[in-house]
């Protein structure tokens, strides 16, 4: 197992292995996504208070979960890159940033569309919404900083530190609805007692969560392969690859 | 782990811990400002700013909603199950507004202690269930509380 990880840290092996892995992940993602959407939009019952409007949750909640999850992946990869100077960890960190920013944006937009009919406002400055907006700015900051520095290894080090400083925001987002009075409701699924959601609604939600995780895996690996080719453009195996394909 | 890497790991750990402590103190200091709304008992206790607009949050008391003759103004009581504040609002209420529902209103207290709201937002809870489950839960709740409540008449 350790040997596997050790081999995966080599960009060349990583490139070859993920090339074979991505199609399978893509098929699995499509399967979960279709099942989740069908179950969520057609099978799941309407809500006792919100009617059909609550169905936007099947996009909003997984997107919000992913925005936190990807940030933790990015910061962890950044820390590994800083400590062990593993190139692949740096590549994974920066490749995650774009996907994370997209999911954060999606969570904010779907939340806004949900908020207007239910709460009566597109946006309020409560702790949950504000901290999620800060998360979006952190992602954008990481991306901007990475692109501002010419040398990519220096850039990766700088962005990793920024990402690690921002980690403090993650528990704030999660617990904001418990620590302070907010307009956003409290946690439904990720609390210690039983989730306060009907099982028929929970299943499509979890299906969509798995689909979003797989989607992230596909996109981050594709981005990482791209980044590796760019960084290793002067190494023998990339030149070999280019010669073989042209 | 070699000493250099160990040192880097410790440095990163210290950095994250330091930032967390600093942010923790800052949030603690701003705790009051981070509250989106005041509860009715805080308003009665005088914690809310007297001359400034602020937000009041709580549950709409069952049976307290009165439509005024002009057709747009509504008066209702907001409670946190300890204290109650009367709210008056002129305008269109959100779809989710109903008795027993959580709301957040923005406005000012007038001299009679009535909260004059210029905006009312509905706060929905974290429970999601089909209507028939909600109905059966309500029946079970009513059946369980009816003997305990004795002969008190329903509002």
Residue of chain B minimizing CA distance to A46: B130
pLDDT at A203: 92
Q: Does A162 touch chain B (CB under 8 A)?
A: no
CA distance A134 to B117: 29
Which class is domain B36-123?
mainly beta
Burial of A121 per CB tally in 10 Å (0-12, 13-18, 19+): middle
Confidence band of B147 (pLDDT split at 50, 70, 90): low
Which chain B residue shows the shortest CA-CA distance from A57? B128
A120, A129, A174: best mutation site toward chain B, by most B Cβ within 10 Å? A120
pLDDT one-digit tens code per residue, A185-197:
888 887 666 778 8
Count how many pairs of residues, chain A against chain B, have C-beta atoms within 8 Å.
Answer: 113
Q: Mean pLDDT, to the nearest integer, of B43-59?
A: 86
Confidence tier at A67 by pLDDT (50, 70, 90): very high
pLDDT in tens, A156-175: 999 999 999 999 999 999 99
Say what the pLDDT of residue B154 is.
37
The reported pTM is: 0.87
For residue B20, give both structure tokens. 């967390």
B89 touches chain A (CB under 8 A): no
Contact of A134 with chain B, judged by CB distance below 8 Å, is answered with no
CB A81 within 8 A of CB A154: no
Residue B137: closest C-alpha in chain A: A48
pLDDT band of residue B130 (cuts 50, 70, 90) is confident
Q: Do A54 and B128 touch (CB under 8 A)?
A: yes
pLDDT value for B134: 79
Q: Do B94 and A201 touch (CB under 8 A)?
A: no
Tens of pLDDT along A195-225?
A: 788 888 999 999 999 999 999 999 999 999 9
Lowest mean pLDDT among A155-159, B95-99, B147-151: B147-151
Q: What is the 3-state secondary structure (H, E, C) of B105-116?
A: EEEEECCCCCEE
pLDDT at A52: 87
Contacts of A8 (CB under 8 A, 6+ apart): A14, A17, A88
**Cα–Cα distance, A63 to A106 (Å, whole number):** 6
Q: How many CA atoms lie within 13 A of A168 on its CB side?
A: 19
Residue of chain B nearest A160, judged by CA positions: B12
Residue B149 confidence (pLDDT): 43
Q: Where does the pLDDT of residue B150 fall: very low under 50, low under 70, confident under 90, or very high at 90 and above?
A: very low
Q: Chain A contact for B137, CB < 8 A?
A: no
Looking at the predicted structure, is the pLDDT value of residue B128 above 70? yes
pLDDT at B155: 39
B37 close contact with A: CB closer than 8 A: yes
Domain ranges of chain A: 22-185+197-245
Residue A231 buriedness (CB in 10 A; 0-12 / 13-18 / 19+) = middle
Please say if the pLDDT value at position B42 is more than 60: yes
Tokens of A241: 């690859």
Query: Does A119 contact B94 at a Cβ distance shorter than 8 Å?
Result: yes
- Is residue A126 predicted with pLDDT exceeding 90? no
Read off the pLDDT band of B153 (50, 70, 90): very low
Q: Where are the domains of chain B?
A: 3-32, 36-123
Select from A49, A165, A200 the Cβ nearest to the Cβ of B19. A165
Mean pLDDT, chain B, integer: 84
Q: What is the mean pLDDT of residues A19-36?
A: 95
Three-state DSSP class for residue A33: helix
pLDDT of residue A192: 65
Here the ipTM equals 0.78
- What is the Cα–Cα distance from B142 to B153, expressed in whole angstroms? 13
Interface test with A, best of B16, B24, B27, B36 (most A CBs within 10 A): B36
Give A146 or B136, the one with higher predicted confidence. A146
- The per-residue pLDDT for B146 is 63
Q: Is the CA virtual torsion B109, B114, B118, B124 positive or negative?
A: positive
Residue A198 pLDDT: 86
- Residue B152 pLDDT exceeds 50: no
Residue from A82, A86, A119 whose CB has the most chain B CBs within 10 Å, to mutate:
A119
- pLDDT above 50 (res B151): no
């Amino acid at each position: 197992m350790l040997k596997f990880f050790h081999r995966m840290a080599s960009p060349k092996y990583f490139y070859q292995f993920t090339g074979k892995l991505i199609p399978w992940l893509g098929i699995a993602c499509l399967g979960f996504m279709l099942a989740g959407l069908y179950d969520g939009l057609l099978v799941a019952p309407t809500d006792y208070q919100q009617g059909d409007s609550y169905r936007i949750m099947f996009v909003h909640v997984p997107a919000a979960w992913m925005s936190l999850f990807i940030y933790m992946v990015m910061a962890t990869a950044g820390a590994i890159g800083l400590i062990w100077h593993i190139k692949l960890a740096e590549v994974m960190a920066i490749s995650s940033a774009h996907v994370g920013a997209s999911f954060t944006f999606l969570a904010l937009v779907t939340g806004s569309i949900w908020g207007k009919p239910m709460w009566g406002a597109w946006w309020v400055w409560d702790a949950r919404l504000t901290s999620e907006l800060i998360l979006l700015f952190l992602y954008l900051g990481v991306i901007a900083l990475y692109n501002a520095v010419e040398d990519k290894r220096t850039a990766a080090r700088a962005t990793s530190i920024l990402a690690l400083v921002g980690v403090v925001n993650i528990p704030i987002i999660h617990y904001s609805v418990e620590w302070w009075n907010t307009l956003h409701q409290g946690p439904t699924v990720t609390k210690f007692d039983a989730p306060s959601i009907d099982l028929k609604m929970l299943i499509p939600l979890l299906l969509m969560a798995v689909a979003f995780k797989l989607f992230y895996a596909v996109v981050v690996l594709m981005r990482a392969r791209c980044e590796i080719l760019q960084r290793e453009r002067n190494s023998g195996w990339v030149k070999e690859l280019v010669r073989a394909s042209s | 782990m070699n000493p250099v890497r160990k040192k880097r790991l410790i440095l990163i750990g210290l950095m994250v811990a330091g930032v967390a402590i600093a942010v923790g103190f800052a949030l603690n200091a701003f705790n009051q400002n981070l509250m989106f709304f005041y509860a009715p008992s805080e308003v009665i206790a005088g914690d809310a700013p007297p001359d400034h607009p602020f937000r009041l949050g709580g549950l709409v008391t069952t049976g307290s909603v009165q439509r005024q003759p002009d057709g747009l103004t509504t008066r209702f009581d907001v409670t946190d199950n300890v204290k109650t504040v009367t709210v008056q609002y002129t305008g269109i209420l959100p779809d989710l507004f109903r008795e027993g529902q959580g709301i957040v209103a923005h406005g000012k207290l007038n001299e009679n202690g009535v909260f004059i709201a210029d905006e009312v937002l509905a706060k929905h809870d974290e429970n999601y269930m089909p209507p028939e489950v909600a109905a059966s839960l309500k029946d079970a709740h009513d059946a369980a509380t009816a003997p305990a409540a004795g002969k008190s008449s329903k509002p």
